A = this chain, B = another copy of it.
Amino acid sequence: MVTLEDVARQAGVSLATASRVLNGSTRQVGAELRARVERAADELGYRANIAAQTLARGASNVIGLVVHDLTDPYFAALADGAMRAAAGEGLLVMVGTTHRDPEQEIAYVATLHAQRVRAVLLAGSRVADPEVTGRLRQEIARYLDSGGRVACVGQDLLGVDTVAPANRAGAAALARALAELGHTRFAVLAGPPQLMTASDRCAGFVEALDELGLPKPRVVHGAFDRDGGYAAASQTGDATCVFAVNDVMAVGALAAYRERGVRVPQDVSVAGFDDIATLRDQVPSLTTVRLPLKDMGARALELALTAEEAAVVEQVAGEVVLRESVRDVREAR
């Protein structure tokens, strides 16, 4: 393992000079010595020891990213956005996946704190459990106290910079758009009640229907993933329009209907939420609420990197996108 000292000796200069040449410093070094150091470093195959640099500088160049599941296109897009932004800043990204276990999330904050990462990005829904959230907040507080930075994509519950998708408003807008097509009997594939992203979207949808004077939808709880949507789709009763609180669930529901010979949108209309990238190849194309996922990931990184006085919360609007999977039932009359 070749060290800076080896390089300095080989070049016949001091440690300080070698350091200044190889790892950007404000100080100038004469051309002659500079060349000698560079040549020595190259000959020896020197690579700076970042652990040592981090320790000496008191600042690292890696950021931590905590997601639920990388194979979910939602998080893949978020992560991709954040990682591109990080690469642009010359930062490395350490990724942790929790598989929806809140304890894992807390543990990752602690671990990333120990790593002294420059910032931690928490992507993904909060859960409606004050005890767990409290412990997470405490872990975050420790990290912030020691100079860390945290940003989050999701509900504004942690008191840190947040990119907050307008889940309620988006779902409400979707409900109005669907009602406008003449639907009156709705079902919601609502995901787990404790998951706030799921329950917010469900609530926004239900409230909007209520304001329109439409009957309450049938609410079916289940898992927040493709299989959850698939399973829940069998319990939508006589609804003419089904809202799955995220796209992967909607895709699962489409599969279930297809298998049962239920035609979409002729027999039932289906809508999702997020507009994940894989939707473009879905048949029928899926109505959804578009969220600019990559931008959100990138924005979260930016927020985490620019220290403000108070925590800033940025609302991100969702845009209703009507596609083939919903039918205008007024035409039918």
Complex Cα distance, B83 from A97, in Å, reads 8
Find A80's partner among B77, B97, B113, B281 (CB 8 Å cutoff): B97
Interface of A is mostly: helix
Q: Which of A130-148 contact B (CB under 8 A)?
A: 142-143, 145-147
Complex Cα distance, B226 from A70, in Å, reads 19
Complex Cα distance, B93 from A332, in Å, reads 54
> Quick check: is A277 within 8 A (CB to CB) of the other chain?
yes
Contact B54 A51 (CB under 8 A): yes
Residues in chain B near residue A114, CB distance under 8 A: 47-50
Contact A52 B49 (CB under 8 A): no
> Quick check: is A26 within 8 A (CB to CB) of the other chain?
no
Contact B60 A70 (CB under 8 A): no
Residues in chain B near residue A93, CB distance under 8 A: 94-96
Complex Cα distance, B47 from A116, in Å, reads 9
Residues in chain B near residue A84, CB distance under 8 A: 97
Residues in chain B near residue A278, CB distance under 8 A: 73, 278
Complex Cα distance, B108 from A47, in Å, reads 13
Using a Cβ–Cβ cut-off of 8 Å, how many residues does chain A contribute to the interface with B? 53
> Quick check: is A310 within 8 A (CB to CB) of the other chain?
no
> Quick check: is A128 within 8 A (CB to CB) of the other chain?
no
- Specify the chain B residue showing the minimal Cβ separation from A79: B70
Residues in chain B near residue A146, CB distance under 8 A: 1-2, 45, 47
Find A73's partner among B71, B80, B145, B283 (CB 8 Å cutoff): B71
- Specify the chain B residue showing the minimal Cβ separation from A69: B80
Residues in chain B near residue A277, CB distance under 8 A: 71
- Residue pairs across A and B with Cβ atoms less than 8 A apart, 27 shown, are A1-B147, A45-B142, A45-B146, A47-B113, A47-B114, A47-B142, A47-B143, A48-B114, A49-B116, A50-B114, A50-B115, A50-B116, A51-B51, A51-B55, A55-B55, A62-B94, A62-B115, A70-B83, A71-B73, A71-B277, A80-B97, A92-B96, A92-B115, A93-B95, A94-B94, A94-B95, A281-B282
